[in-house]
Amino acid sequence: MMSDTEAVPRTALSQWITQFQWSVTDSLIIAKRHLIRISRIPQTIIFAVIQPIMFTVMFSYVFGGSMNIGDTTDPSAYREFLIPGILAQTVTVAATTACVGIADDMHTGLWDRFRALPMSRGAVLTGCHIANLARTALTLTVLTVVALLIGWRVHTSAAHAMAAFALLLLLGYAFSWVGSLTALCARTPETAGSAGLLWVFPLTFISNAFADSSNMTPWLRHIAEWNPFSATVQATRTLFGNTSLSESTAWPMQHPIQASVFWSLLIILVFRALSVRKYRSEPKM
């Protein structure tokens, strides 16, 4: 016969499993709601795809012949260097889209109705980010096709390429939690859109995405090398077999794949906790 001391842990474990299943179910329902909303407003997908395509084409042809990559100004060398950075920027900028969507739901009072329902509090945000991840995956697919059309190539195996895309989506999911905290603090769609750009552009441009960080001022180079965004860019270049110029001794540049996973998981852990806490304490609109 089982003692009382053995029954308590098992009961606590079963309660935790039930709560986890409840949270997953609620998250998927919220994600489905957002995906249906996206399908009814296809303009959101169209404009989400157009912007990275513009960056890809403009950077490739405008700067391609003037950037010195590996002691050559051959545009194809810069294109190899550029595309992983553009892909990483795309998943990061997508976080600002989720940011505006969250602020819009708050502003319209939808979240007040969610709070009145017997549902997991974290599921409201998680479902939104799952839907945003699906939209980001579609955007990455289209952008990859465009990159292949203008001459970019993957020089490794399909497994390495899939691992690179997985790191990109993990980074996008991580920064979507930064976007959710931004939206919860901004509260209105207009403010959320502007506030999101305040951290997206410094994050993406003070990095190794568009230029070799070794040519930067020393203090700026150290920031770029320890930038979580730079780690993912470096990791995807490694996995795609593209041009990589980093000769830095910084740990993230020496171990970019491990650094990319570490930074992304850390960002998720910290900003998910902060976002859920902010959501629970947010007063009704």
pLDDT for 81-136, tens place per residue? 889 999 999 999 888 777 777 777 776 767 667 776 767 767 788 888 888 888 89
Is there a domain that residue 15 lies in? no
Alpha carbon distances (Å) from 199 to 41, 92, 204 = 27, 10, 9
Is there a domain that residue 99 lies in? yes
203-243 tens-digit pLDDT: 999 998 888 888 888 899 999 999 999 999 999 999 998 86
Nearest of 37, 89, 78, 239 to residue 154 by alpha carbon: 239
171-215 tens-digit pLDDT: 999 999 998 888 888 777 777 777 878 888 899 999 988 888 888
Query: pLDDT-derived band of residue 9, with 50, 70 and 90 as boundaries?
Result: low
Range of the domain at 104: 32-281
Per the structure, how many domains does the chain have?
1
* Average pLDDT along the chain: 82
Is there a domain that residue 194 lies in? yes
- Looking at residue 242, the DSSP 8-state letter turns out to be -
Please indicate, yes or no, whether the overall pTM of this predicted structure exceeds 0.75. Answer: yes
Give the residue carrying structure tokens 């009145």: 116
Q: Tell me what percent of the chain is helix, strand and coil, each rounded to the nearest 5.
A: 80, 0, 20
- Take residue 86 and report the two structure tokens written for it: 């553009």
**Does residue 149 have a pLDDT over 80?**
yes
Is there a domain that residue 7 lies in? no
pLDDT computed for residue 96 by the predictor: 79
Is there a domain that residue 9 lies in? no
pLDDT computed for residue 231 by the predictor: 94
pLDDT computed for residue 81 by the predictor: 87
Query: pLDDT-derived band of residue 1, with 50, 70 and 90 as boundaries?
Result: very low
**Does residue 7 have a pLDDT over 60?**
no
Nearest of 196, 229, 205 to residue 97 by alpha carbon: 196
Comparing 175-179, 236-240, 252-256, 278-282, which segment has the lowest mean pLDDT? Answer: 278-282
pLDDT computed for residue 28 by the predictor: 84
Any residues with CB less than 8 A from the CB of 239 and at least 6 apart, and which?
A: 156, 160, 161, 163, 164, 167, 257
Neighbours of 71 (CB within 10 A): 7
| Cα 232 from Cα 256, distance rounded (Å) | 7
Question: Sign of dihedral through CA atoms 36, 38, 40, 45?
Answer: negative
Is there a domain that residue 27 lies in? no
DSSP letters of 49-89? Answer: HHHHHHHHHHHHHHSTTT--SSS---HHHHHHHHHHHHHHH
Is there a domain that residue 8 lies in? no
Neighbours of 137 (CB within 10 A): 15
| Cα 28 from Cα 32, distance rounded (Å) | 6
pLDDT computed for residue 2 by the predictor: 46
Percent of the chain at pLDDT exceeding 90? 31
